[in-house]
Structure 1
Amino acid sequence: MYQISIVQHSMNTSEVSRWCLDFPRQGQACTVDSLSDGLVFQGWVLVKDGAEAVPYLKLNGEKHYLPLNCQRADVITKVLGESADGHAQLTCGFRHTFALKQDSGVFGFEVGGTDFDAASYRIEGSLRILEGDEGWLYLDNDTNESVEQYQGNLLLDKNALKEWKSYLSAFTSLALEQNIRHTLLIAPSKEMVLPEFYPHEKGRTSPVEQVAGLSKPEHKLVYPVSQMRAMQEQPFRKCDTHWSPKGALVGFKAALEALGLDMEAVDRVFESDVYQESVRGGDLGNKLYPPRRAPEWLLTKVRYQKWVVYDNHLPNLGRVIVFLNEGALLNTKCVIFGSSSSYSFFNYAARIFSTLIFVHSAGSIDAGLLEIEKPEYVLAQTNGRFVVRAPVVTYDLEAEMDAKLDLLSDTQLKDLRKKHQAACSLPDGCLNFDIPSVFSCLLTTKV
């Protein structure tokens, strides 16, 4: 979904006495299909006696005239306060439809052979996008203020640093108490790995670097910026905030190394993987109009969905996905408390651990779930731009699922019930904590 942003200009001409652009309107919602079918430009113009003003649109350097083709009796009576019958400027309106192929343009009037730009419009997505060098796209006005973080204008204060120290210590202690190998993987932001394309200069430090500076060896914190910068392949998707499949593999392997796995054995699992070039959009490219796409290398012949035995289908926080793969490298259980970047390494993780439980919590830990499930490994994962708020080890998955369901519309709940009823049944003994039953009970309470 997009919306129209309009900025009006001052016109230095006395020949045009009044004008109005009825459509498009400021904030008008539109979709890719509606813009491709055509955006309506409708309005009117009144001129002084003897003058002539022809509306135009300037699109991608080309000028398109919008001839006056509509009688506007409402303008004559309401604006001029005169009778519309036989009025000389009765046909003062225009209505034309243009299929747009770019995200901006200029509206104005040609008067006596001279152009007077009256307004400019831009088609914007829900997020503003920064375009760097060579077409690389970055996040702009996100709620985490990633630009301010990168420039060093938004840093963690004493309380925030204290919360991070508490989280790192508590997570480590919890893992030791339950005899679980653990690690915290912070997925670097795109601009930290590819600063050469970013349109802003980096500050002396940033919140994620503050957090990395707090960590001790026993915390097992992994922040694989150097590994990703050293990649010969593309570490991030050009039109997306997330890392590429190969970038995700580098980050995931860094976490596996921190967990103490045999990395030679890990490498053998992935040594036959095949990648194929494909042109794709992304969460940034899709916010532009027209949507932006770019080539990227995708893993082929491996789809983690074949190992999914349960998915509650909640959007983002509170989502739970369970994978079973008897042919995995290790006959062990791993719980991932992750974020959106974790999805990018599911194709790899599902081949390492025979039982994999993913909880979308952005690194926060449900200690009770770990105590019940008793996994051999736990991987907490969050994104670099999220570190302005420290995760917690008091996360309550059941409460999160309940709260998320309260935010869904009736239509969304109906769709979710259908998906959940069609979910695959879990094999006996797969989960100690019966998440499907708990989630079903929560669903039945929502009317």
Structure 2
Amino acid sequence: MVKSAEGFRMERLENLAASLGEDPASLASLSLDRADYIALANLLWDRFRYSDAERVLVRACETHRDFAEARRLYDRIRADRATLFQLDAKPCSERRIHLDTLSRGPIKKPGLVDLQIRGWVRRTEEEACLVVQEAGRPSRVVPLKLNRPDVVAHFRKQGCEDQQTACGFVFKADITRGLTIALRTGGHDEPLLELAAVKLQQVLVGKDDWLFLCEDTNKSEDLFTGRNPVTRQDATGWAEFVQEAAKAVDGAGAKFCMMISPSKEDVFPELHPSAPASVSLLETVKSAMVLAGTQADGPPGAGVVCPVARLRTTRANYIKTDTHWSDRGAWVCVQDILERFGLDLPEGFSPKFRNVEVVGDLGSKMHPPHSSVKKDWVRQGQSVSVVFDNKLNASGHIQIYENGASLRPERILLFGGSSSEAVAKVMADIFARVVRINSPAIMPVMDVVRAERPDIVICQTSARFLKLPAKVVESASGSALAKLTEDQMPDDWDLPSPSPAGPLDGTARRIGGRLGRALRGVRHYDR
């Protein structure tokens, strides 16, 4: 049978998908037309190869200018990867079956493909096993071989002496389209349970159709409304982090700055469908950080940047269908940093932005997808180059920009999460060198600070992460960088051999007592 042109095309794309799995570096030389980039990304997405699909689309946007379709697909894939599901179990029998898996919180979509399911069943028969049926796949037998004396004790308290000890099970399954569990005894299969993954909504529609995050792992809506209230630990944890990080960075000869990216509901609470809490997590933690940064024995130059009032001047600082600020919002934050450190720009400097239509990580969760306009930074001249990018789509992503005609001579080292990406993009037009590391929970990594020798170290976090303080570490082995291969790290970083990972100690850990006493004057938190 003669293959059609479309058949040859799909075979070629299949081979490309296979080669990307075997040699990820081959993506750098990939050059396709627009339709093939989209088809290849969709092929990888269908196979739950999210990172590969995203990397293909990044390459597509590098190859083809103003590739709007690739940007929209990238947003949809990123959102699909982050989609949360709750497990729903429907009993099919009076026989008792218990799944420990149901006690865990929401599960991201990639986790449904190979989910570990553990539990026990009411079993009195000598010979018995489970039969698991995943949608679209042949059924398979799972043995009941895990001893559960706790289950036996439970039934004995109820007067049942016939429970078999070997009643526990554990197996992995793809529950993307659901599965059923049956008990096989004496050649008869008794259906016990239907298990399904129910997609959580994760989006709230506010005033003027602005979209807001909900049902996420950080419980953003509860943080905003106060259902998850502010505590003393929230304030002291981040305040101690600021003092510890500032002291460590000062010891390395650099200046330190803490940056908080407010959620758009913190900046525009009137757009959110719910009323805000009377006590703000963001304002409480920021106040504690500011107090920590002005302690008499602290290093000079430590500061906190969180320009809520400036961001509130226009809605264009955020994206209607996304959780992040726009490049314009990032520029507002960069202005605050420049002022904090007394860094002037040439007279007449005026940033330029263009309107770009985006779906966004919230708009892609809607059916049909919603889009909006994003204020996108327009690069000033041709002097900025990306000299290193390991192209990871997770913690450990490293980008290095160099500017041959920079407006400022300083070198910037920026640790943070996804919101720091727009900040680095803006800073690259201003400073001589900007290094961005995606590591929002572990920062700064002092080995990297010493290797990079920056003038300013910035640690960025987002308001919805303020329930969990970041940690300072000495060695890269205690951070997201530990998982990177040699070619995923810059050649000019001569990092020391790995040492035991862990937070700094000594003087940095002894500051807590003085800080704790000072923070008793901050009354923003609930006891």
Q: Give the TM-score normalised by the residue count of structure 1.
A: 0.60
Give the direction of change, closer, same or farther, for the CA distance of 1:125–1:326 in structure 2 (3 Å limit): farther
> Which residue among 281, 291, 304 is the counterpart of 1:221?
304
Partner Cα distance (1:244, 1:191) in 2: 14
1:150-175 CA distances to partner (integer Å, 9 max, x unpaired)?
A: 11222343334332221111122123
1:205-226 CA distances to partner (integer Å, 9 max, x unpaired)?
A: 1222211121225340111111
1:369 aligns with 2:448: yes
Segments of structure 1 that go 5 or more residues without pairing to the other structure are 8-26, 30-122, 406-415, 439-447
Kept in 2, the 8 Å contact 1:124–1:288? The answer is: no
Segments of structure 2 that go 5 or more residues without pairing to the other structure are 1-79, 89-106, 110-196, 295-301, 499-527
Kept in 1, the 8 Å contact 2:451–2:495? The answer is: no
Aligned to 2:415: 337
Q: How much has 1:241 moved relative to structure 2? A: 0.4
Percent identical among aligned pairs is: 26
The one-letter code of the counterpart of 1:389 is L
Give the direction of change, closer, same or farther, for the CA distance of 1:179–1:189 in structure 2 (3 Å limit): same
The one-letter code of the counterpart of 1:179 is G
Q: How much has 1:258 moved relative to structure 2? A: 1.9
Aligned to 1:61: none
Question: 1:410-425 to 2 correspondence within 5 Å?
Answer: none
1:194 aligns with 2:268: yes
Give the direction of change, closer, same or farther, for the CA distance of 1:385–1:239 in structure 2 (3 Å limit): same
1:21-69 CA distances to partner (integer Å, 9 max, x unpaired)?
A: xxxxxx9x9xxxxxxxxxxxxxxxxxxxxxxxxxxxxxxxxxxxxxxxx
What SS does the aligned partner of 2:375 have? strand
Kept in 2, the 8 Å contact 1:182–1:259? The answer is: no
Question: 1:278-427 to 2 correspondence within 5 Å?
Answer: 278-301=356-379, 307-362=385-440, 364-394=443-473, 396-401=475-480, 404=483
The one-letter code of the counterpart of 1:347 is K
Give the direction of change, closer, same or farther, for the CA distance of 1:310–1:334 in structure 2 (3 Å limit): same
> Which residue among 238, 256, 273 is the counterpart of 1:164?
238
What SS does the aligned partner of 1:315 have? coil
Give the direction of change, closer, same or farther, for the CA distance of 1:396–1:202 in structure 2 (3 Å limit): farther
Partner Cα distance (2:388, 2:229) in 1: 39
What SS does the aligned partner of 1:254 have? helix
Q: How much has 1:402 moved relative to structure 2? A: 5.9
What SS does the aligned partner of 1:221 have? strand
Greater C-alpha Rg? 1
Partner Cα distance (2:407, 2:401) in 1: 14
Kept in 2, the 8 Å contact 1:307–1:325? The answer is: yes
Kept in 1, the 8 Å contact 2:234–2:285? The answer is: no
Q: How many residues align?
A: 302
Give the direction of change, closer, same or farther, for the CA distance of 1:158–1:277 in structure 2 (3 Å limit): closer
Q: How much has 1:404 moved relative to structure 2? A: 4.9
Give the direction of change, closer, same or farther, for the CA distance of 1:333–1:3 in structure 2 (3 Å limit): closer
Q: How much has 1:352 moved relative to structure 2? A: 1.9
Partner Cα distance (1:289, 1:395) in 2: 46
Give the direction of change, closer, same or farther, for the CA distance of 1:330–1:391 in structure 2 (3 Å limit): same
Q: Give the TM-score normalised by the residue count of structure 2.
A: 0.51
Aligned to 1:143: 217
Kept in 1, the 8 Å contact 2:254–2:454? The answer is: yes
Give the direction of change, closer, same or farther, for the CA distance of 1:210–1:171 in structure 2 (3 Å limit): same
The one-letter code of the counterpart of 2:334 is F
Question: 1:70-85 to 2 correspondence within 5 Å?
Answer: none
Q: How much has 1:4 moved relative to structure 2? A: 11
Aligned to 1:88: none
> Which residue among 235, 243, 250 is the counterpart of 1:176?
250
The one-letter code of the counterpart of 1:400 is S
1:243 aligns with 2:304: no
Q: How much has 1:309 moved relative to structure 2? A: 0.9
Question: 1:258-297 to 2 correspondence within 5 Å?
Answer: 258-262=340-344, 264-265=345-346, 268-269=348-349, 271=350, 273-297=351-375
Q: Give the helix-richer structure, 1 or 2.
A: 2
The one-letter code of the counterpart of 1:229 is R
Give RMSD over aligned pairs.
3.5
Partner Cα distance (1:211, 1:294) in 2: 31
